[in-house]
Structure 1
């Protein structure tokens, strides 16, 4: 599939807008359209408050949030003009439980680009929005690290492989990026699962049929978490993009992130393409 339509969440409190800028730069190379969504979110009252939050406070807070979203959307539009990209900036006011409205705006796109949850520049509900987009949109999600300030490139791609259908969907989603890759490494962590046959041979053969040359690496499982093993290898190998499945468990109709997925979202150091 060719990427022609990119959806991105515009940062409100991070003036650098790392993820949205990366989405625009990527779109300029792919000749793609970008839709940017700036969110005004209803303030969440602390659970320990003994009395209801005054209505006038909520009205003022929502108005301020909507003004901030409009300012961010305007900044996104100006940035799109610099890149010469066909782009549309939208704003939306989201009340408690309103994430399905975000999914509806994102699901008819080829790729979602969103910034990592950053404690230093906290975007309201960012972690919950990433989780919702990953599990409910049906669209590949490219998460950009909060400190990332370079163009996104798939020159050296590292694929975290465990043989699951979720990992296979991530490989399918990554095919457009792999077309321009000069290095593709399939990486597995020893002891993370039992293999039938030669580990990684199946996905290597699949990619070879798409005219990709790949290498297969099995990393030793130390005392470190799987996520730490993967990220250390990504850093040592000079990978510019990580591809992996996003895992979760369906509990009471809400997804709970799997351990490796949660750790990667918190600790990632390179752009990471995930699907569920």
Structure 2
């Protein structure tokens, strides 16, 4: 997959600046177009409790001020990256009733910021794993205040041999094939089935010109997400590639999951697919 059309999803969080900076670097490198969309930030009080016309007007005024500030920031960062002529900001009015997954289907992948740390802020955020599921497009999560002078030159691929990790690896292949780039494939625990020689993941990567080291780590009482994060720090990976949740969205919300835990605590960008 060549990278030519990137969507940045912004819902008013402070992670917008980090996600625009990083995606602008990607767009500049690949000669791609960058579009930002602002939406999904209606107030909890507006949704559930209802508001008087006066209070609603005040909230909309604050929201409109944030939108203006976001447009100014987007224009500034894309100009600095040299892609102003290929950058576009879509306002909520232009979005209308279209959902983020519907919009995302017309792009190569979606970039979004961090997940809020407070449970009662979850309603404000873009849910990367859910967007990946509903849009059929990969999602790149950039941590809040993440700063990098260059794009990642070392990727850690979380590999358990399941459908979603295979999809994520395939979607990220154009990124992993870039030279120079180091790739580490991580398997947490004894989860892989025995395959005939010559048809494993290492062979697949080698045939794409990717020389990858395969790391196996014991869980040792840790969650899979903790193993992924610890290994990324250990090997110095600047990008994590992984599949989105394998279970139902209900169980993911109720009990949490690997994807959710990783994107809440990651210190480097995470590229995920479902």
TM-score (norm 1): 0.85
Written as runs of structure 1 = structure 2, the 5 A alignment for 1:92-241 is 92=92, 101-119=99-117, 125-151=123-149, 153-180=151-178, 181-191=180-190, 193=191, 195-197=193-195, 202-241=200-239
Instruction: Return the structure number with greater helix share.
Output: 2
Q: Distance in 1 between matches of 2:128 and 2:64?
A: 21
SS of 2:128's equivalent? Answer: helix
More strand by percentage: 1
Unpaired runs of 5+ residues, structure 1, are: none
Q: Is the 8 A contact 1:161 1:200 kept in 2?
A: no
- What residue number does 2:31 align with? 31
SS in 2 for 1:230: helix
Q: In 2, Cα distance between the equivalents of 1:62 and 1:143?
A: 27
Quote the offset at 1:13 in angstroms: 4.9
Structure 1 residue aligned with 2:267: 269
Q: How many residues align?
A: 270
What does the per-residue CA deviation read over 1:202-253, in whole Å, with 9 as the maximum and x for residues that have no partner? 111111111111111110121111111111111010111111000153357x
Q: How far apart in 2 are the matches of 1:124 and 1:61?
A: 19
- Contact 1:6/1:33 (CA < 8 Å) preserved in 2? yes
In structure 2, what is the equivalent of residue 79 of structure 1? 77
Structure 1 residues 190 and 4, CA gap change in structure 2 (3 angstroms): same
Superimposed CA distance per residue, residues 135-159 of structure 1 (whole angstroms, 9 cap, x where no aligned partner): 2111111101113111462311111
- Find the aligned partners of 1:188 and 1:110 in 2 and give their Cα distance: 27
Q: Is the 8 A contact 1:40 1:62 kept in 2?
A: no
Higher relative contact order (Cα pairs below 8 Å, separated by 6+ residues): 2
Runs ≥4 residues deviating over 4 A: 46-49, 198-201, 254-258
**8 Å contact from structure 1 (residues 9, 20) kept in 2:** no
Deviation at 1:105, TM superposition (A): 2.0
Q: Distance in 1 between matches of 2:185 and 2:48?
A: 48
Unaligned runs of 5+ in 2: none
Distance in 2, matches of 1:42 and 1:238, equals 38
RMSD: 3.2
Name the CA distance, whole Å, in 1 between partners of 2:97 and 2:198: 37
Decide whether aligned partners of structure 1 residues 41 and 118 sit closer, same or farther in structure 2, where only a CA change above 3 A counts. Answer: closer
TM-score (norm 2): 0.86
Q: Is the 8 A contact 2:8 2:23 kept in 1?
A: yes
Distance 1:58 1:271 in 2: 36
Q: 1:194: Cα distance to partner?
A: 5.2
SS in 2 for 1:70: helix
